[in-house]
A = this chain, B = another copy of it.
Amino acid sequence: MAETFKAETSTSMALAKAINESLRRALETDPKVLVMGEDVGKLGGVFRVTDGLQKDFGESRVIDTPLAESGIVGTAIGLALRGYRPVVEIQFDGFVFPAYDQIVTQLAKMHARSLGKVKMPVVVRIPYGGGIGAVEHHSESPESLFAHVAGLKVVSPSNASDAYWMMQQAIQSDDPVIFFEPKRRYWDKGEVNTEAIPGELHKAQVAREGTDLTLAAYGPMVKLCLEAANAAAEEGKSLEVLDLRSVSPLDFDSIQASVEKTRRLVVVHEAPVFFGSGAEIAARITERCFYHLEAPVLRVGGYHAPYPPARLEEEYLPGLDRVLDAVDRALAY
């Protein structure tokens, strides 16, 4: 829901608060929904996303877990087998890897392995991305490593309204959903209409219309792309911004539709470019739009290097100038 609603039921709230409200609603609506993770209880999570939930729903619904990510996801799988719908929190992007085996070999494959007999309605929440001046392992964007794995769905909202509704939909999904939360946008406010009927979870949305080039992004980079489109508009360039929202599946139809109009595409993400989402988008869109593209699909993202120390992250992360540079290069073809 890139467009915001100003209905009676609409409130302005920060993205983190929108997720908090969405979790609250799920806990209220469905007694099978659980929230689990390190420090999600009294502390309310290190970003306060689960603030107040344990107080209101008790320790058996909002569960502080031992410090072991494989254990968190592994027991969530067991709880799902018992009929629960766990929403687990991984404290930071860089700490999902101890759980990677359970996610890839068990969570992702259980439905297929059981020939559909067993459902895996587990949401794995991961605050991700950089720009917050953190120490190592606290700023990564590992979405590629999940999108490549069949059986998982991977989404990332860019704004408060989407955060609220996509979380509702992720929890309702009978498939495991890796829910990447753009941590540097946690404090960004937006209108959330808790009555609006949301769009499909895996559909991209046009965040801004344009005619000369398409910028495709998701999560934290959507805001940057909107800023780039603003800046470009001052130079007389009309950029369309597509908020992809979902990384698996990718909404190629929407990207294709946009590219058939603009004929140029730049994909922006924080994750390293090498084997990143941009590669998959470029490959498939080039195949679909071979005769439409005036320029190769260009990619702006992280370098093939470990996420750098905080004082270098501005250089590492895509910024306004780097996006505009890619736009210029694409337009120069």
Contacts and interface: CB of A to CB of B under 8 A. Distances in A.
B148 A274 contact: yes
Interface string A135-155: 011000000110110110000
Most buried by B among A105, A271, A276, A303: A105
Contacts of A112: 305-306
B283 A148 contact: no
Contacts of A286: 282-283, 286, 296-297
A137 B275 contact: no
Most buried by B among A145, A278, A297: A145
What bracket does the count of chain A residues touching chain B fall in?
Answer: 35 or more
A280 interface: yes
Interface in A262-301: 271-272, 274-280, 282-284, 286-287, 290, 295-299
Interface stretch (A35-43, A80-88, A94-102, A170-178): A94-102
B150 A305 contact: yes
Contacts of A271: 148
Interface in A68-121: 94, 97-98, 100-101, 104-105, 108-109, 112-113
A105 B101 contact: no
A279 B275 contact: yes
B275 A144 contact: yes
A55 interface: no
B148 A105 contact: no
A50 to B, nearest CB: 24
A304 interface: yes
A104 to B, nearest CB: 5
A151 B306 contact: yes
A33 to B, nearest CB: 27
14 contacts: A97-B100, A100-B100, A109-B306, A112-B305, A145-B148, A147-B274, A150-B306, A151-B306, A282-B282, A283-B283, A283-B286, A283-B299, A286-B296, A286-B297
The 5 closest A-B CB pairs, nearest first, are: A97-B101, A282-B283, A148-B275, A279-B279, A287-B296
